[in-house]
Structure 1
Amino acid sequence: MSSDEQFRHLYAANFPALLGYAVRRVEQPADAADVVAETFLIAWRRRQDVPGGAEARLWLYGVARRVLANHHRGNQRRDRLGDRLRARLASIGGDPAADVPQRLAVRDALARLGELDREVLTLTAWEGLEPREVAAVLGVSATTVRTRLSRARARFRQLVGDDPPPAGHVLSVLTTPSPKEGR
């Protein structure tokens, strides 16, 4: 019997038992399938190390046990990373959903501006480009950009309302000139 045939026989004879072993030790059935697949991948790579007869199943259980240990360690690492990221996000600011109405208002107002006004405004406010840099991007003069920027801000303020937004607010970035724009 060829090594491929021997492996197919090993797989067919032991797959159900190994799947049951893994299913009882993981939270999700899909994880059990991954554990069994990894176990047989290792068995394939180490075909020459697999003992014959009934010892093969015990050897596969040993491999599956180590694969499960790696799986559980990986889950613990992902959980710790997730906890750290959630803590970091919580320390950065409040609930991002709180900004959704303002973000929708910004998107709506930007959509109602002309293309050049929108581009001048967003390149300046969101990309942090100076008027001379915006001029280079758009292929117009810096004077044109300054004029368009002033008009775009005025139109934008009309579209979102005249109440001044708090400093640092998503709307304040689009409606307030920065000190570097005078260049």
Structure 2
Amino acid sequence: MGSDVSIEDEDRFRQVYEGSFERLLAYALRRVEQPADAADVVAETFLIAWRRGRQIPDGDEATLWLYGIARRVLANHHRGGVRRERLGERLRQRLREAGPADPAQVVSDQLTVRGLLNRLAEPDREVLMLSFWEGLEPREAAVVLGVSSTVARARLSRARGRFRELVDSSNSIMAVREEK
């Protein structure tokens, strides 16, 4: 059912939708943990049905056909969930291995660095973040920024100097506060 969808095709799809929606939703709800996931499964099922509109069987066979589509959508959903869980576990493991001794101090340090970065002009901030947070080499940052490697290296050098000045100034202010 592309852009040349006839009124008859729309009416037929609407009838199939109305006649099958509740059953498909119940089917999906019994097979997923979250109601939102069931809604996604049903929405994707009907999207596939819409795209294959002329393949929809007549009568009660349409609902059975939709069950088959929903079954495959659910299988994809579950495989995706397994992949997400495995990735999440790998990320949690890495965080545990590289975890800071004092998470509160890390958060405080991050806020301080972000505060200092926010005081820089956007081009300085971006080249520093690409270099240090994203781990990009100046030639790689140049591609992201759409400038030559020479320009990226020069920007990075100037940005480091400006950031260093902000850090020194910030440390001086902190030392004065601590003396009081």
Tell me the TM-score range normalised by the shorter chain.
0.5 to 0.7
Q: 1:154 deviation in Å?
A: 5.4
Counterpart of 1:99 in structure 2 is 106
Match of 1:25 among 24, 31, 36: 31
Counterpart of 1:84 in structure 2 is 90
TM, length-normalised to structure 2: 0.62
Give the alignment of 1:1-183 within 5 angstroms: 2-94=8-100, 96-104=103-111, 133=154, 137=158, 155-161=169-175
Work out which of the two has the higher radius of gyration on C-alpha atoms and give 1 or 2: 1
Q: 1:89 deviation in Å?
A: 2.1
CA separation of 1:42/1:153 partners in 2, compared to 1, >3 Å: closer, same or farther? Answer: closer
| Greater Cα shift, 99-108 or 17-26 | 99-108
| Greater Cα shift, 25-34 or 1-10 | 1-10
CA separation of 1:42/1:158 partners in 2, compared to 1, >3 Å: closer, same or farther? Answer: same
Q: 1:83 deviation in Å?
A: 1.0
Q: Give per-residue Cα distances to partners, 1:10-58, cap 9 Å, x unaligned.
A: 0011101111111111111111111001111111112222211111111
- Work out the CA distance in 2 between the residues paired with 1:69 and 1:37: 15
Q: Give per-residue Cα distances to partners, 1:59-82, cap 9 Å, x unaligned.
A: 111111111111011111111111
- Work out the CA distance in 1 between the residues paired with 2:166 and 2:40: 55
- Work out the CA distance in 1 between the residues paired with 2:24 and 2:156: 66
Q: Give per-residue Cα distances to partners, 1:130-180, cap 9 Å, x unaligned.
A: xx9479848xxxxxx7xx999766543332339xxxxxxxxxxxxxxxxxx
CA separation of 1:104/1:51 partners in 2, compared to 1, >3 Å: closer, same or farther? Answer: closer
CA separation of 1:159/1:103 partners in 2, compared to 1, >3 Å: closer, same or farther? Answer: farther
RMSD value, Cα? 3.7
How many residues are aligned here? 143
1:25 counterpart SS class: coil
Structure 2: which 5+ runs fail to align?
Answer: 1-6, 133-137, 139-152
- Kept after mapping to 2: 8 A contact 1:106/1:160: no
* Amino-acid identity (%): 50
